[in-house]
Structure 1
Amino acid sequence: MTNTGDVGDTRLAYTETGTGAPVVWLHGSGPGATGMSNFGGNLAAFGDHRNIVVDLPGWGASPRPETAEPLIFHAAEQVCRTMTSLGIERAHLVGNSYGGGVAMRIATRYPERVDRLVLMAPGGVLPADAPPWPVGLERLFGYMAADEPSREAMAEFVRLMVYDETLATAELIDERYESSLRVHPELPIPPNFGDLTPDLSRIDAPTLLVWGREDQTVPLTWAPKLLAGIPNAELRVLPHCRHWVQYERAPEFNHLVREFLRGGAAAASEG
């Protein structure tokens, strides 16, 4: 069930499940993305946590307020306000892509509110030679720029997100396409997400970076900058996997993250 909470001049939508130590889940910026479309399949493995699955401003059921701030910076403030309204002083943050950038921004601005960070191919930290953009970002920006995006354009985008293209099901494509038509972002291309590079050293929280080896959206070659910049970071790379690690490799992802949130090393046994 989707709830909404007041965050200043707007409202932020979220889904809440489970009980226990809080985890805030932050989705990516792809067309049609919502909190539950990114993480709905993972939540059963985290029933012993209080899960807050957010629709970031302008995605899903959350309206986009007028703002000149970079998207990551603005969204981070809204998420913190939502946490406050829900009585959550401190939480684990799990962020995919754009949502990973939002999580990092919160960790740099409000370190007292962050327990542990899990970042799946996070945004907000670009290499010096970008653009040109990886093909996944090209497709994402192209979809955002289209006046009348097509289902086939969505299908091409979704297929780029997974290594095993059989996971790009018709149902998934339809869901993402219909969601994108309900809230089609009106953004400059490329959007002004904001640059977190200067602040990486301020992230005190233990941080798990998770990457798909074949990611074509935020490629693995971008990971060393984060690994070197975040003082207490470790990296796990999953082979035969692209950008949607939590979807394409859900059992391994769930196991890694549960171990990490419990305070253990991210090393996981297979099977």
Structure 2
Amino acid sequence: MQPPHYIRIGTPDAPKVVFAHGWGRTHRDFIPVAEALAPTIDAYLFDLPGHGKSERPDAAWGTVEYAEYMARYVTMDLGIDQCVWVGHSFGGRMGLRLGVQSPGMMRHMVIVAGAGVPRDISTAERWKRKWKGRKFQKLKAAATTEDELIELEKRFGSPDYVMSRETGMRDIFVKTIAEDQSADLPRIPTETTLIYGSADTETPPEIGRKIAALVPNSTYIECPHYDHISILDRGRHQIALAIKEAVAA
């Protein structure tokens, strides 16, 4: 497997900051923040394995394997002893794993719209999902062409689920979204800033508040009106402020 693709922005002798994007995204999401902070940080913006220009893993990795790989590459290949980890969505899931598996490399974590714990679902919603899942499986079994199958996936699946077929990442996607890190989060010693958008329907504020309640040394910030993606652009000033405070501490 080839080393992951990344770009570097900033001042070489400044505090190291590693940026990890969300599912189906790339390093480009964090370029505005890294450029704004370039005089005060040394930023590494990655395409995580299987995304952007980085080769996908040769097996169905979960966040445990992703965290192990990134910790090894950052510390051993790049020689970074300690960094601020900034992760959006999937990159946030991975950051939470690193907080447990490799806390020594973490100076601070900034988790933006990160998942990792289950949502609270009402009984009615749970039954609705079961019914929808059974209907999908029934129609899927009756599909006779790949085009029919793709249309069913678009009808019943999330955009990320649909895209995972196109990118050849379906096995990894299914494995990672099924993970529940709740039991491990209280073991994270790293100071953590959690930033969530109030209008986010993919990782809603409920998720952020649950993570904040489990991570001992955490601060929860909720940004009004931002959704899962606009938190990266309209909310970039809040992310930049969290990084500035982390490197100054």
Give TM-score, length-normalised by structure 2.
0.78
Return the match for 1:138 from 158, 161, 164: 158
Which structure's CA Rg is the greater one? 2
CA distance in 1, matches of 2:81, 2:59: 26
Shift of 1:255: 2.3
CA distance in 2, matches of 1:15, 1:251: 21
- Counterpart mapping for 1:49-88 below 5 A: 49-70=41-62, 72-83=63-74, 84-88=76-80
Contact 1:246 1:254 in 2 (8 A): no
Shift of 1:215: 0.4
CA distance in 2, matches of 1:234, 1:89: 24
CA distance in 1, matches of 2:198, 2:168: 29
CA distance in 2, matches of 1:241, 1:29: 18
Q: What amino acid does structure 2 have at the position aligned with 1:57? A: P
Unpaired segments of 5 or more residues in structure 1? 1-8, 148-183, 264-271
Structure with more helix by fraction: 2
Unpaired segments of 5 or more residues in structure 2? 130-156
- Counterpart mapping for 1:155-170 below 5 A: none
Shift of 1:17: 1.4
- Give aligned pairs, total: 210
Shift of 1:189: 8.4
Cα separation, partners in 2 of 1:189 and 1:76, compared to 1, 3 Å = closer
Q: 2:92 — aligned with what?
A: 100
Percent of pairs with identical residues: 27
1:148-192 deviations in Å (ceiling 9; x for gaps): xxxxxxxxxxxxxxxxxxxxxxxxxxxxxxxxxxxx233138521
Shift of 1:10: 3.3
CA RMSD of aligned residues (A): 2.0
Give the SS at the match of 2:5: strand
CA distance in 1, matches of 2:173, 2:52: 20
CA distance in 1, matches of 2:247, 2:210: 23
Following TM superposition, the consecutive aligned residue runs of length 4 or more in structure 1 with deviations greater than 4 angstroms are none
Contact 2:197 2:222 in 1 (8 A): yes
Give TM-score, length-normalised by structure 1.
0.72
